[in-house]
Amino acid sequence: MPHEDKSMGAVLAAQDPIVQSLVREEVDHGVLIPLKTTLELRDDHVTGRVLITRTPVKSANPTISLLRDMLPEEIVKGVPHLRRCAKPGDLPAHLKTQFMNETPQSRQIHTGKSNWIYIILGPESQLSRDELVQALKTIEGLEEDIFIRSVPVPMVAPTSQIQAAMWSQHFWPTLYRKNNPLGPHPAMVSRSTEEITDDAAIWMTLAHQVAEQSQAAGHGEPMGACIVQREEGNKVTLVALAADARWRCQGKTGCTGNPMAHSVLRAISMVAQKLVRAENKRTDTFQTPILEFEAFQDKPLLDDEQKVFEIDHPSPDGYLCHGLEMYLTHEPCVMCSMAILHSRMGKVVFRHRMPLTGGLCAENRGSDHPSLNGADGGRGLGLFWRRELNWSLVAWEWESNGCLKPLPVDQMIHA
């Protein structure tokens, strides 16, 4: 099988002619860094306490059956990332030492090939010791003085095999089930990164170009957005291209510009207009806007925006931006981040973090950023992946290898 040429020149040559004609700057690969979720950053070491007991191996099944009969299912299965049963030799070293030195019988249990096993009973806060002791006394073979101890354990599942091994040494034997309860599945992140890594620089370059053009024309800040659709076989179609236009028809004195004209909102609106245009063609209806002032400024203002706007939407029957990819020069503000979620975008890549005003990153905003002189934007929101929201997506920060020059803006600006 011939080796596939993944050089930037070959990748660009494989794109549609319109894309090739729009790319005027030198393009080279960058680095994609997946964003961390709020849970990945903050719940990494949250611990709680569970109660454990020990029984002869032959009494393990009756003990577990007893627990299932007397406790609600959510308690019995409350810590699925921890091994329910653990041999004495599999315990962390500090627990072995602690239990072995308690009584002569304990030392015997931990000597040689043991016929005993330790069992997690459940979270301590949800259990009654007295009730457990009375119930366990009915199990044949248990010690006369029922063994129940409280031990600290991580209350969330590990996100890697390395973390599981570390927790097994410090807390309790832990399982890594190749998933991520705190964010996107690692396999999905890896697969998605592989899908976009070859051509991400092309779409970032287009966003970069319109950002510079809009600033030069006095329309807005040097910020841009590019939306593409990726189909099976990794065929990519350019759907929308939009720059920031917050200063158009606005005075710069004493205001922050038109928030409806951020590049993200303009790009999403252009996608929506394409869908409406396709529907109008099918129904042979055409509507004339009646607004005296168009707040969204979502008509093409630049030649490059116009060229892309004239291309029909490749999938006019879908919901707005469902499954599309957005490439941004700057991390979007909270308003734009929520617009991205509501439009059902599938992937988002941005170049410059906005440590005071960005809505996608989960890291605390600005408190430790060296260029902000101690300014603090509060806790990062990590809006790309939140349990309480009804949509989530995969997001990356893109680092240029130096091919594209930076687009610096005031850190207080909302992108």
pLDDT of amino acid 79: 87
Model pTM score:
0.77
According to DSSP, the β-strands at 325-330 and 347-352 are: parallel
Provide the pLDDT confidence category of residue 341 given band limits of 50, 70 and 90.
Answer: very high
The structure tokens listed for 59 are: 């009494």
Q: 122 CB contacts (<8 Å, ≥6 apart)?
A: 50, 51, 67, 71, 75, 76, 78, 79
Q: Angle CA(355)–CA(356)–CA(361) in degrees, nearest 5?
A: 45
pLDDT for residue 99 is more than 60:
yes
Rounded alpha-carbon distances, angstroms, from residue 80 to 68, 73, 77, 391: 14, 12, 6, 26
Q: What is the pLDDT of residue 1?
A: 42
Q: State the maximum Cα–Cα separation within the chain, in Å, rounded to a whole number.
A: 90
Q: Is the dihedral of CA 288, 291, 293, 298 positive or negative?
A: negative
State both tokens at 168: 């097994």
Q: Which is more confident, 235 or 374?
A: 235
Above pLDDT 90, what percent of the chain?
64
Asked if 59 and 136 touch (Cβ cutoff 8 Å), the reply is no
For the chain, give the mean pLDDT.
89
Residue 217 has pLDDT above 80, yes or no: yes
pLDDT, position 133: 92
- Between CA 180 and CA 166 the distance in angstroms is 16
Parallel, antiparallel, or unpaired for β 47-56 and 149-154? antiparallel
Name 365's Cβ contacts closer than 8 Å, sequence gap at least 6: 355, 356, 357, 358, 376, 377, 378, 379, 380
Tell me what percent of the chain is helix, strand and coil, each rounded to the nearest 5: 35, 15, 50
Lowest-confidence pick of 20-24, 152-156, 206-210, 288-292: 288-292
Residue 190 has pLDDT above 70, yes or no: yes
Instruction: Please give the average per-residue pLDDT across 133-159, as a whole number.
Output: 89
DSSP code, position 59: G
Q: In this structure, are residues 220 and 246 in contact, taking their beta carbons and an 8 Å threshold? A: yes
Quote the Cα angle for 20-23-24, to 5°: 125
Specify whether the CB–CB gap between 168 and 23 falls below 8 A.
no
pLDDT of residue 157: 84
* Residue with token string 């709680």: 48
Exposed, middle or buried by CB within 10 Å (0-12, 13-18, 19+), for 341?
buried
Q: How many residues does the chain have?
A: 415
- The dihedral over CA atoms of 138, 140, 145, 149, expressed in degrees to the nearest 10, equals -80
Strand order in the sheet with 31-34: 31-34, 394-399, 347-352, 325-330, 224-230, 236-243
Rounded CA-CA distance 377/190 in Å is 31
pLDDT at 73: 85
